[in-house]
Amino acid sequence: MTLDALDTPALVVDLEALRANVVAMAATADAAGVALRPHAKTHKSLHVARLQLDAGAVGLTVAKLGEAEVFADGGVEDLLIAYPLVGSLKLARLVALARRVPRLSVAVDAIATAEAISAAVAAAGGIELGVRAEVDTGMHRLGLAPASDELVALAQAVDRLPGLRFDGVMTHEGQAYQARDEAELAAAAATACDAMVRSAEAIRAAGVDCAVVSMGSTATARFAAGHPGVTEIRPGTYVFNDRSQLAHGSATVAGLAATVLATVVSRPSAGIACIDAGAKALTSDRMIVRDAAPDYGAVAERGWPVVRASEEHGLVALPEGAVVAVGDRLAIVPNHICPVVNLFDAVAVVERGRVVDHWPVAARGRMT
Amino acid sequence: MTLDALDTPALVVDLEALRANVVAMAATADAAGVALRPHAKTHKSLHVARLQLDAGAVGLTVAKLGEAEVFADGGVEDLLIAYPLVGSLKLARLVALARRVPRLSVAVDAIATAEAISAAVAAAGGIELGVRAEVDTGMHRLGLAPASDELVALAQAVDRLPGLRFDGVMTHEGQAYQARDEAELAAAAATACDAMVRSAEAIRAAGVDCAVVSMGSTATARFAAGHPGVTEIRPGTYVFNDRSQLAHGSATVAGLAATVLATVVSRPSAGIACIDAGAKALTSDRMIVRDAAPDYGAVAERGWPVVRASEEHGLVALPEGAVVAVGDRLAIVPNHICPVVNLFDAVAVVERGRVVDHWPVAARGRMT
């Protein structure tokens, strides 16, 4: 099947670029001697997960219990749920999941959250769950301050709680996306890594093992992997990449493995092409850069921005002299690929210009 | 089942509020003597569609062929696809759909688009498709200028093309959402309605019947319904409403029929609660108002804004003295409900505080 036989809007994945991205990140981790535990929230796909594990990933990171359940169903044996699980409904599911996943771990940032998990696990019996303390290295979303008394106390509490095994510390250093250039990005990564190494040392000084020092973001992965004391990286976006990663130098144009194929449905004015990909195909996410432009993606290779998006209409700003007609197809590079994938039930997999498969976005819709 | 038995994040629909919204808009249309053709892109649900049709809606508006197919499967007999259908794949599906939907119509804004549809319909034989010309009354998305020569020429072309029946004119007057207050909103609605009535008159003056003059937006519906010469309204959001509609006075707090139920998963600082609803549950859409604040929704009744959203984390800014603990549940009113519904496979239907049903978002994922 050719690309022409694909109706639009469609999420198209270039298999060759995807494979190269998977292999390159595995090589980065391997060369640095750190574990690679990719965040599967980007792809939510068993097919992509299999590529990652085959290339040497130790396991997967997920954001949701529902995602973990899907990957467990798919046979993945090592899963980190990098999210505090709260409430009896989730804890009952966590216990059931722990019974069938050989290596399951979770992140927590509060003793009370760990205590509730411990109570559920201990009541079930026969389970040991890995736990990581989430550190806030500057994203200011959740997590405890690096090397703080609260962090050490959490590690100590987890260490003595029944059914739990303290594995180490993790962070999402998303603040690095505010870097203006490569030097600032490297510095932000180093600062975050230092904070994590200090955190691990403080925990060890208190007599608690802290084997894992885990960093997570595609933009910082190439810096974090080689930072002394870091033991694991958890990039997600690198499998597909997007405009934000291009801007941060963490992807090249050749590494853009996912685009939204759209059709021009109207030419309302000389400078505008209206395409059938709006916010329900591209999302309303801006680029993850400092002072992001208010746009919704850009045409691949040409760079023409999608300057407005209604739910089902995208308006592409054309340069003078651009020849674009109703019926033409344009590949759009999204600003942020993760929520875009989350809108599609399946991706069309393309190899050398031909659609060779359709992969379900298996964990999409698993809201809880 | 109580709300406590619902895992989060969940999209919760209050049945009583939904029914009241459906009845109130039907009464508005009825009192004004105009047809009501709700836009189903908001709910994508056969259950909600049935409520609307039972309350007197003449049919539904949809944005996509895939949505039309779902509603046709559900037995809806009058559908307007308010979107220019382009390309042979879509035209083949359109022809198949026309064979099984008693009253099917489409919108176009170019003669070439109409000609391609006519060619497909005429080649199939035995089908007559209703066509509306899309007018740009100020949204500047697509559509032809009001009462313009191009618009009249399009109507004339459709009128003579085989297999097509020119039904009238339609617009989405989304520019009205830039109004600062009720007076500006009323004025924007009146301006758009006048432009549409003039458009119909220009077409009639050229000897082409133009029965339908159709306006579409929840914010303007109460003004447009009573505007002389308008024959139809196509509001969508009114079934659920959202923060944007509240701001425009087109909904009251009692009319907020859909909220995202979330759990507090962390209290990272005194002024912040982190909830399990981020951009993958609330979207990144701003409010549809002039100079929208950079937030992602607000806690129902309390008004506390969701000031930041990662994919799975929302940060709620708490006022001094607010008592919020990990495990607490908060109902979030989205900025824009339509793309939020599009993220969920089903909505939890609540009546008098109890979950009485789960309705599939049947047309979600029908990207094409």
- Confidence grade of residue B100 (pLDDT, cut at 50, 70, 90): very high
| Residue A31 to chain B, least CA–CA distance (Å) | 30
Q: What local confidence, expressed as pLDDT, does residue A318 receive?
A: 98
Q: What is the DSSP track for B129-181?
A: EEEEEEB-SS--SSSBPTT-HHHHHHHHHHHHSTTEEEEEEE---GGGGG-SS
Beta-carbon separation of A41 and B311 below 8 A = yes
- Cβ separation B315–A344 shorter than 8 A: no
For the stretch B125-153, pLDDT in tens is 999 999 999 999 999 999 999 999 999 99
Mutate to test the interface with A, among B311, B329, B342, B361 (most CBs of A within 10 A): B311
CB B351 within 8 Å of CB B337: no
Please state which architecture CATH assigns to domain B17-238.
Alpha-Beta Barrel (3.20)
pLDDT of residue A250: 97
Q: What is the pLDDT of residues A256-287, one digit of tens each?
A: 999 999 999 999 999 999 999 999 999 999 99
Give A63-115 pLDDT, tens digit per residue.
999 999 999 999 999 999 999 999 999 999 999 999 999 999 999 999 999 99
Protein fold of B3-9+251-360: Lyase, Ornithine Decarboxylase; Chain A, domain 1 (2.40.37)
pLDDT category of residue B83 using cuts at 50, 70 and 90: very high
pLDDT above 90 coverage of chain A, percent? 100
Q: Name the 3-class secondary structure at A257.
A: coil
Helix (H) / strand (E) containing B5? none
| Structural contact between residues B97 and B80, judged by C-beta atoms closer than 8 angstroms | no
Number of H helices, E strands in chain B: 11, 17
Closest CA to B80 of B103, B58, B61: B61
Q: What residues of chain B lie within 8 A of the CB of A113, using their CB?
A: 265-266, 326
* CA dist., res. B183 & res. B178, Å (int): 12
Beta bridge partners of B266: B274
**Interface ipTM > 0.90:** yes
Are B99 and B69 a contacting pair, CB within 8 Å?
Answer: no
Domain boundaries, chain A: 3-9+251-360, 17-238
Query: Which of A9, A109, A311 faces B368 most closely, judged by CB atoms?
Result: A9
Instruction: Considering only the beta carbons, identify the residue of B87, B344, B365 that sits closest to A345.
Output: B365
Could you list the beta-strand ranges (E) of A164-240: 164-171, 212-215, 232-233
Mean pLDDT for the stretch of residues B277-296? 96
User: Which of B269, B312, B338, B344 to probe by mutation at the A interface, max A CB count within 10 Å?
Assistant: B312
Identify all chain A residues contacting B308, using CB atoms and an 8 Å cutoff.
141
Average pLDDT, whole number, for chain B?
A: 98
Query: Which chain B residues are Cβ-neighbours of A265 within 8 angstroms?
Result: 83-84, 86, 113, 142
pLDDT, residue A317, reads 98
DSSP E strand stretches across A204-257 = 212-215, 232-233
Substitution target in A39, A171, A312 with the highest count of B β-carbons within 10 Å is A312
- B78: phi then psi, degrees, rounded to nearest 5: -140, 110
Q: How far apart are CA B93 and CA B105, in angstroms?
A: 14
Token pair 């722990």: residue: A98
Phi, psi of A151 (to 5 degrees): -65, -45
The separation between CA A216 and the C-alpha centre of its own chain, rounded to angstroms, equals 8
How deeply is B341 buried, as exposed, middle or buried, from its count of CB atoms within 10 A (0-12, 13-18, 19+)?
A: buried
Confidence label for B359 from pLDDT (cuts 50, 70 and 90): very high
B150 → chain A, closest CA residue: A268
Average pLDDT rounded to a whole number, residues A210-221: 98
Q: What residues of A are in contact with residue B140 (Cβ under 8 Å)?
A: 268-269
| Cα–Cα–Cα angle for B199, B166, B148, rounded to 5 degrees | 25
Dist. CA A64–CA A40, nearest whole Å: 10
Which pLDDT band holds residue B307 (cuts at 50, 70, 90)? Answer: very high
Which residues of chain B lie closer than 8 angstroms to A143, CB-CB? 266, 268
User: Which A residues, 77 through 136, put their C-beta within 8 Å of a C-beta on chain B?
Assistant: 83-84, 86-87, 89-90, 109-110, 112-113, 136
Nearest-by-Cβ selection for B110 from A284, A311, A326: A326
Closest CA to B145 of B121, B109, B95, B111: B109
Task: Please tell me the distance from the alpha carbon of residue B172 to that of residue B234, in angstroms, as a whole number.
Answer: 9
Burial tier of A11 (Cβ tally within 10 Å: 0-12, 13-18, 19+): buried
Please check whether residue B252 touches A, CB under 8 A. no
What percentage of chain A exceeds 70 in pLDDT?
100
CB-neighbour burial class of residue B321 (10 A; exposed 0-12, middle 13-18, buried 19+): exposed
Q: Which of B174, B266, B339 sits opposite A279 (nearest CB)?
A: B339
Pull the structure tokens for residue A13: 């994945």
b (16+ CB within 10 A) / e for A345-367: bbbbbbeeeebeeebebbbbbbb
The reported pLDDT for the residue numbered B93 is 98
As a whole number of angstroms, the distance between CA B324 and CA B305 comes to: 14
Task: Determine phi and psi for A365, rounding to 5 degrees.
Answer: 80, -5
Q: Are B312 and A41 in contact (CB under 8 A)?
A: yes
pLDDT digits (tens, 9 = 90+) for A127-154: 999 999 999 999 999 999 999 999 999 9
Residue A141 tokens read as 């979303």
Q: Which residue of A lies nearest to B260 if distances are taken between CA atoms?
A: A367
CA distance A167 to A127: 15
Give pLDDT tens digits for B153-208: 999 999 999 999 999 999 999 999 999 999 999 999 999 999 999 999 999 999 99
CA torsion, points A52, A57, A61, A67, in degrees to nearest 10? 40
Q: Which of residues 175-234 of A touch B (CB under 8 A)?
A: none
pLDDT of residue B188: 98
- To which residue do tokens 């617009």 refer? B171
- Give the nearest chain B residue to A175 (CA atoms): B310
